[in-house]
């Protein structure tokens, strides 16, 4: 149990850095460096990196090292499609048994505050979508959607500068209005826009400024600190 607690601490810390792009895709992870940072032996660090490999966030190379996995357009497409399916299910459950959306609307209003950081926008947006899922009372659905949103976080951040937080707040409010009115066509349009919007924004970055994603796309397997970009 003590060993599990040790590797979980490293796992959670490194995972958070990867998901927030604090550690960029393609960055080499030093097992000895992490062991020194967390004041641990290599074993729990290796266990943590193994768990991150299982989740697809870390890859190992031919040179017996670890790298942060690159962003993958195919993975992004799958995440968008899966998220849309999940949130359609959430919407159908909410329309069938309408809850009180008041607290969720109040929380969503935080997106209109001036000077929000990217971390704050990401958190409020995720809280809104998780809030909808939690209103269904279906914990399996909640857990699955949480994982999908976490896996989508890196992609969201890449294209986030193309999105207005205030517009996001308006879209969320209109989605709730559509749920209250049981207008599933409108609900579907909002959910499709939210799920596939991240994909479209990342692709827009690629088209407009390919160098902006240099080192982020693909799954580099070699390199001293950063993997090859092409």
**Is the CATH code 1.20.120.530 the one for domain 73-211?**
yes
pLDDT at position 3 is 57
Domain boundaries, the chain: 2-70, 73-211
Q: What is the DSSP letter of 230?
A: -
The pLDDT of residue 41 is 92
Which conformational region is residue 30 in: left (phi greater than 0), alpha (psi within -120 to 50 degrees), or beta? Answer: beta
Q: Which fold has domain 2-70?
A: Arc Repressor Mutant, subunit A (1.10.10)
pTM summary value:
0.81
For residues 183-203, one letter each, b for 16 or more C-beta atoms within 10 angstroms of the residue's C-beta and e for the rest, the string is: eeeebeebbeebbbbbbebbe
Q: What is the distance between the alpha carbons of residues 94 and 225, in angstroms, rounded to a whole number?
A: 48
Q: What's the pLDDT score for residue 216? A: 55
227 falls in which pLDDT band (50, 70, 90)? very low
**φ and ψ at residue 6, rounded to 5 degrees:** -65, -50
| 8 A C-beta contact, residue 220 and residue 227 | yes
Average pLDDT, whole number, for the chain?
87
Cβ–Cβ under 8 Å, residues 79 and 152 = yes
Cβ(212)–Cβ(205) below 8 Å: yes
pLDDT per position as a tens digit, 24-60: 888 999 999 999 999 999 999 999 999 999 999 999 9
**Using CA atoms in the order 166, 172, 176, 178, what is the torsion angle rounded to 10 degrees?**
100
Task: Return d(Cα 55, Cα 191) in angstroms, integer.
Answer: 25
């Amino acid at each position: 149990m003590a060993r599990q607690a040790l590797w979980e601490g490293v796992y959670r810390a490194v995972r958070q850095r990867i998901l927030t792009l604090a550690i960029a895709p393609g960055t080499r992870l030093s097992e000895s460096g992490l062991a020194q940072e967390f004041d641990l032996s290599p074993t729990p660090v290796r266990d943590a990196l193994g768990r991150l490999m299982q989740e697809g966030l870390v890859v190992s190379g031919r040179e017996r090292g670890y790298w942060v996995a690159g962003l993958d357009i195919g993975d992004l497409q799958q995440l968008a499609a899966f998220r849309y399916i999940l949130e359609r299910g959430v919407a159908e459950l909410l329309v069938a048994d309408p809850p009180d959306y008041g607290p969720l609307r109040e929380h969503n209003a935080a997106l209109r505050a001036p000077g929000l950081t990217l971390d704050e926008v990401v958190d409020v947006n995720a809280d809104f979508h998780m809030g909808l899922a939690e209103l269904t009372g279906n914990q399996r659905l909640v857990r699955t959607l949480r994982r999908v949103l976490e896996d989508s976080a890196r992609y969201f951040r890449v294209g986030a500068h193309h999105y207005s937080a205030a517009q996001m707040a308006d879209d969320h409010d209109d989605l709730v209005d559509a749920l209250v009115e049981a207008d599933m066509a409108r609900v579907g349009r909002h959910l499709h826009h939210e799920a596939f919007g991240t994909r479209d924004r990342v692709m827009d970055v690629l088209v407009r400024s390919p160098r902006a994603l240099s080192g982020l796309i693909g799954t580099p397997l070699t390199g001293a600190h950063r993997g090859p970009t092409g």
